[in-house]
């Protein structure tokens, strides 16, 4: 047993692994091929308690620690990154900001609806000229009477256009008087006049997860839809992304674990020159390197989770975990395809999907260059 885990963690891992293998795995290839978001699977994940797993019980969650949530994401990603992406975007980016910065009324209104899998919530940050540089946000919100009037657009927003999406937390620029524009967060429900979504298709990866554009044309919401304080959007975003890095790291770790297990199984079954290819040094060394990288990645990620759960600073460790797991996901998936040889290049082999899915981990929030910047800032140089 990992020294940072207890029996409850191990029990949860077994339960989520069984669920992923029995419920998600049989549908993963079909949903990927059809580029179909599954409301049914989402609801089943809700029934399994995966949504809101780290949200307090008073709001319908399970009230478990960060490490429990990370294990759940890891086990989902071991089978299918698309379903894991749905969970991560909803839990880390959707629920947590409302829990951390919402008023009591906002928490009571939204959180109980969002822990069951019946409804999803999105986090709208990225735009044509804004993403890693949030200060480039061009979506604006202007006060008119007792309302915010929002104009602009977002893109690459996970969970924004599903049939069960309840709403989105938007990063916008607000301005009071002649002062400088302020990065602010607003809650906007789907169905609000002036709020439209368009699903983005043709993705290489996470094809069964919902990715959308959001268009806001004189979209009006009450002033009470302000999340937290006006002008604090950058601070909220950075704290949210710290926790989000842990969950994305879990996706990288889980994907790498799944790819590794497929490679080990294939290496033990396929024979060349009268013996399993895993007995050939060229293959066995690849597997040994994969195993080593997985061990180091898991230790790094679990340590960061332990720091967070114990109220200690963890930004640096989260950045390291996200960077390292993203890189080993690429390396392990690539080597796993090499172990499979030509058969790993065809869609009827799950390793092909894993090879595609890992690519976003190096492009999404916290690219390698940004994460290295975060890490280096803690060195005092």
Which of 230, 327, 352, 365 is an active site residue? 365
Q: Which residues pair with 140 in a beta bridge?
A: 151, 173
What is the SS3 assignment for the chain?
Answer: CCCCCCHHHHHHHHHHHHHHHHHHHHHHHHHHHHCCCCHHHHHHHHHCCCCCCCCCHHHCCCCCCHHHHHHHHHHHHCCCHHHHHHHHHHHHHHHHHHHHHCCHHHHHHHHHHHCCCCCEEEEECCECCECCCHHHCCCEEEEECCEEEEEEEEEEEECCCCCCEEEEEEEEEECCCCCCCEEEEEEEECCCCCEEEEECCCCCCCCCCCEEEEEEEEEEEEHHHECCCCCCHHHHHHHHHHHHHHHHHHHHHHHHHHHHHHHHHHHHHCEECCEEHHHCHHHHHHHHHHHHHHHHHHHHHHHHHHHHHCCCCCHHHHHHHHHHHHHHHHHHHHHHHHHHHHHHHCCCCHHHHHHHHHHHHHCCCCCHHHHHHHHHHCCCC
Residue 212: closest CA among 224, 203, 225: 203
Residue 234 is encoded by which pair of tokens?
């950058």
Residue 365 is a catalytic residue: yes
Angstrom distance (rounded) from CA 258 to CA 48: 21
Catalytic residue numbers? 365
């Amino acid at each position: 047993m990992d020294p940072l885990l207890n029996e409850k963690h191990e029990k949860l891992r077994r339960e989520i692994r069984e669920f992923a293998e029995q419920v998600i795995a049989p549908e993963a290839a079909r949903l990927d091929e059809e580029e179909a978001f599954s409301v049914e699977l989402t609801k089943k994940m809700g029934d399994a308690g995966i949504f809101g797993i780290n949200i307090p019980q008073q709001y319908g969650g399970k009230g478990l620690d960060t490490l429990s949530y990370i294990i759940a994401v890891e086990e989902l990603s071991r089978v299918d990154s698309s379903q894991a992406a749905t969970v991560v975007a909803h839990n880390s980016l959707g629920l947590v900001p409302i829990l951390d910065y919402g008023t009591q009324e906002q928490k009571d209104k939204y959180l109980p609806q969002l822990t069951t899998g019946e409804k999803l919530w999105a986090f709208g940050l990225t735009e044509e000229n804004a993403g890693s540089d949030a200060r480039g946000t061009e979506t604006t919100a202007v006060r008119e009477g007792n309302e915010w009037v929002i104009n602009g657009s977002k893109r690459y927003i996970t969970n924004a256009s599903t049939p069960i999406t309840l709403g989105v937390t938007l990063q916008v620029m607000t301005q009071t008087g002649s002062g400088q524009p302020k990065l602010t967060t607003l809650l906007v429900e789907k169905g609000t006049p002036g709020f439209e979504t368009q699903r983005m298709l043709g993705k290489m990866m996470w094809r069964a997860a919902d990715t959308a554009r959001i268009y806001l044309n004189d979209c009006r919401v009450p002033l009470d839809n302000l999340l937290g304080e006006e002008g604090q959007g950058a601070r909220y975003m950075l704290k949210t992304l710290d926790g989000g890095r842990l969950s994305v790291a879990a996706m990288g770790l889980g994907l790498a674990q799944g790819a590794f297990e497929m490679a080990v199984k294939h290496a033990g079954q396929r024979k060349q020159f009268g013996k399993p290819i895993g007995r050939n040094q060229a293959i066995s060394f690849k597997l040994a390197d994969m195993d080593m990288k997985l061990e180091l990645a898991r230790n790094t990620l679990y340590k960061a989770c332990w720091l967070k759960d114990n109220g200690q600073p963890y930004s640096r460790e989260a950045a390291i975990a996200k960077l390292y797991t993203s890189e080993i996901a690429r390396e392990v998936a690539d080597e796993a395809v090499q172990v499979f040889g030509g058969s790993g290049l065809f869609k009827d082999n799950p390793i092909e999907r894993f090879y595609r899915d890992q690519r976003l981990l190096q492009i999404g929030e916290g690219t390698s260059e940004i994460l290295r910047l975060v890490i280096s800032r803690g060195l005092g140089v």
